[in-house]
Amino acid sequence: MGKIRFSSVNGNMMGLDGGAMFGNAPKALWQRWTRADDNNMIDIASRCLLVETDSARILFETGVGAYLSPAMKQRFGVKGESHQLLDSLDDLGLDHGDITHVVLSHLHFDHAGGLLATWQEGREPELLFPNAEFITGRANWERSCSPHIRDRASFIPALNRLLEESNRLSLKENGDLLELDGVRIRFMESNGHTPGMMLSHISCDDGSLVFAGDIAPGHFWVNLPITMGYDRFPEELVNEKKRVFKEVYEGNAWIFYTHDPVYSVSKLAVDSKNGRFVPSSLVESFAGTSLGRI
């Protein structure tokens, strides 16, 4: 069996309202952690994870991408003219056609928008990754097909049709497994942020990593009571965080942060003063390495 390689892969940065991102936390608290601009916007990454094996190249999420029109890019503070994820894959010697699997924790635009080609005036949305199996949770797929008015704007109207027409859509349930060349992925359903969000517990011989989706978008949100204004069921999310963080901590796993503006992963420790989980061994980025060497 060949070497299994892990890389953090950057997509387009965004700027979102700090109050919305920190939800129940007052600005007097969260401004100690991150800086907001004059419009109260904070930097938000759209970071992806790439796992490469002998025969598979598995991409966890695609970030916001560059599919939005100029007006919508301005609204969401999307930075850069090009599709940064494709540029980052190119830096690794890869093309989007080389990806064999795309795993989407959920179908919000800032996690799935990178599936689409760069916006051009007058052109219909175009699905990228022509050779990939698209994997997401059944419950979140159903939510995206019939969203509540509260979160309708978070989904991409044209994406569901394109994914169905690809005939490469695979819907997973809580506890389902995917095993490829020594990589074992166990899917774990979470409902606090959005119904049916699917976290991925990735394990191989030299360690494990949990792709946390929006249960902990960055290391600031490891703080258990801190939730986003975007979270549909905050109290349920806090309970889910407890369970997932316990698994990460007891398994000495890495936890992956898709929206953290600086850090890609960390381990978790327990604060001796209050017994709460805190991030430890924070890592900014990594490329082509094993879990044991991040």
Written as tens digits, the pLDDT of the chain (294 aa) is: 579 999 999 999 999 999 999 999 999 999 999 999 999 999 999 999 999 999 999 999 999 999 999 999 999 999 998 999 999 999 999 999 999 999 999 999 999 999 999 999 999 999 999 999 999 999 999 999 999 999 999 999 899 999 999 999 999 999 999 999 999 999 999 999 999 999 999 999 999 999 999 999 999 999 999 999 999 999 999 999 999 999 999 999 999 999 999 999 999 999 988 989 999 999 999 999 999 999
Go through 78-106 and write b for each residue having 16 or more CB atoms within 10 A of its CB, e for each that does not. beeeebbbbebbeeeebebeebbbbbbbb
Per residue in 101-113, pLDDT (tens digit) is 999 999 999 999 9
7: amino acid identity, one letter: S
If one counts the domains in the chain, the total is 1
What is the structure's pLDDT at 1?
54
- Please state, in angstroms and rounded to a whole number, the distance separating the CA atoms of residues 92 and 101: 17
Query: Quick one: which of 223, 279, 290 has its CA closest to 255?
Result: 279
Query: Quick one: which of 209, 206, 287 has its CA closest to 1?
Result: 206
Q: Residue 205 belongs to what domain range?
A: 5-293
The whole-model pTM stands at: 0.97
What is the structure's pLDDT at 259?
98
In 3-state terms, the chain is what percent helix, strand and coil (to 5)?
Answer: 25, 30, 45
What is the structure's pLDDT at 2?
73
Kindly state the DSSP code that residue 97 receives in the 8-state scheme.
G
What is the structure's pLDDT at 14?
97
- Please state, in angstroms and rounded to a whole number, the distance separating the CA atoms of residues 278 and 91: 33
Query: Quick one: which of 95, 94, 120, 104 has its CA closest to 168?
Result: 104
- Please state, in angstroms and rounded to a whole number, the distance separating the CA atoms of residues 277 and 239: 13
DSSP structure string for 46-72: -EEEEEE-SS-EEEE---STT-S-HHH
CATH at 85: 3.60.15.10
DSSP structure string for 121-181: TTPPP-B--TTPEEEEEHHHHHHHHS--TTTGGGB-TTHHHHHHHHT-EEEE-TT-EEEET
Bridge pairing between strands 5-10 and 47-52: antiparallel
For residue 142, give both structure tokens. Answer: 């159903």
Q: Which residues pair with 264 in a beta bridge?
A: none
For residue 69, give both structure tokens. Answer: 């029109």
Per residue in 214-248, pLDDT (tens digit) is 999 999 999 999 999 999 999 999 999 999 999 99
In order of 2, 132, 190, 193, 198, the CA distances from 233 in angstroms are 42, 32, 10, 6, 15
For residue 130, give both structure tokens. Answer: 């022509």
